[in-house]
Structure 1
Amino acid sequence: MTVTGALILVGALLLLLGAYCSWTAGRLDRLHHRVATARASLETELARRAALVVELAGSGVLDPASSLLLLDAAHRARTADCDERERAESALTRAIGATVTDVEPWATELGTATRRVQLARRFHNDIVGSARDLRRRRIVTWFHLAGHAPMPTTIELEDGS
């Protein structure tokens, strides 16, 4: 093999490596965007559930103690900071389970809202898992393809599942 042939081969390999790194970085960027979108969707579903709980608590169909318990849990879930959010949402789930059993049509609506929260959380956590798996690959860490993006984290809360 001549020097020219070797340079062409090295150039082709570098071109292939660059193309693969570019494709991987693009995929990682899309996954990070999907994580952010899934997180926003989960936040929306949690807010809808809390609003439905507040509406139920103010409707007068529950006893006053149950209404206060639900209002307090919904308020704490809505106003919790990032560190306390999962714990507050889990407490709201437990409060819903403890107070609402068969109050129609609220039980159906809350059941639907709870299922939507479950699905949104699972979808979010699946995407986070995919992003984390890709970020753990050697080529991503060696070439810093994730940039300065923080490592995505899963959401662990009791959601009635």
Structure 2
Amino acid sequence: MNWEWLFVTIAVLAALGVYLSWTAGRLDRRHARLEASRAVLDAELLRRSASVLDLATAGLLDPASSVALADAASRARTAAEGTERYQAESDLTAVLTAVLDDPEDLEPLRSDPAAEAALEDLAMACRRAAHARRFHNELVRGAIRLRRKALVRWLRLAGYAPMPETVELDDTVPHGLASE
């Protein structure tokens, strides 16, 4: 009878060990995906600001709009990481919306193949940046759910990794570009 309890105890401890190891591996993979998605998001935001700079310097828009777009894109590219960067990206979105929100204002540009290509590149860059941010935020929410489990907290399976945070910025695609 004592041997049966010993085998049951060993089996329970082995199952618990396997579960904890699997959970720690899952958490580690989630953190690696978070780092990768953050890098993709940063690349997409840089691509968006590069497309804005290309449009602003192409001489296709009026000078005031070109200067406003170029200034906002430059600030977004050179802003420090964190809240300052996301504020600069939101400001870039606000300028894009102010300049390119009305599809009727863009109709004269659409007849020029170079302008049409620049607008199409910018629209794609805006959509990709918005998608990358949503994807990253979904991964963050999943990691937070996993890290809130009692065993993960009690046994510190996340180690000393900082709690992931969602990226909050305005990445709305202007209506003038969204119609493509």
> What TM-score does the superposition give when structure 1 sets the normalisation length?
0.95
CA distance in 2, matches of 1:141, 1:159: 34
Q: How much has 1:160 moved relative to structure 2? A: 0.7
Aligned to 1:129: 141
Q: How much has 1:117 moved relative to structure 2? A: 0.8
Name the SS of the counterpart of 1:84 in structure 2: helix
Q: How much has 1:107 moved relative to structure 2? A: 2.5
Query: Where does structure 2 lack aligned partners over 5 or more consecutive residues?
Result: 111-115, 174-180
Q: How does 1:76-91 map to 2 (within 5 A)?
A: 76-82=75-81, 83-91=83-91
Name the SS of the counterpart of 2:59 in structure 1: coil
- 2:93–2:172 contact (8 Å) kept in structure 1: yes
Q: How does 1:49-88 map to 2 (within 5 A)?
A: 49-82=48-81, 83-88=83-88
Structure 2 letter corresponding to 1:95: V
Q: How does 1:10-159 map to 2 (within 5 A)?
A: 10-82=9-81, 83-100=83-100, 101=102, 102=106, 103-104=109-110, 105=116, 106-159=118-171
Q: Once superposed, what is the RMSD of the aligned Cα atoms?
A: 1.2
Q: How much has 1:4 moved relative to structure 2? A: 2.0
Q: Percent identity?
A: 50
Q: How much has 1:3 moved relative to structure 2? A: 2.2
CA distance in 1, matches of 2:154, 2:10: 20
CA deviation vs aligned residue, 1:52-82 (integer Å, no higher than 9, x gap):
1111111111111111111111111111112
Query: Where does structure 1 lack aligned partners over 5 or more consecutive residues?
Result: none
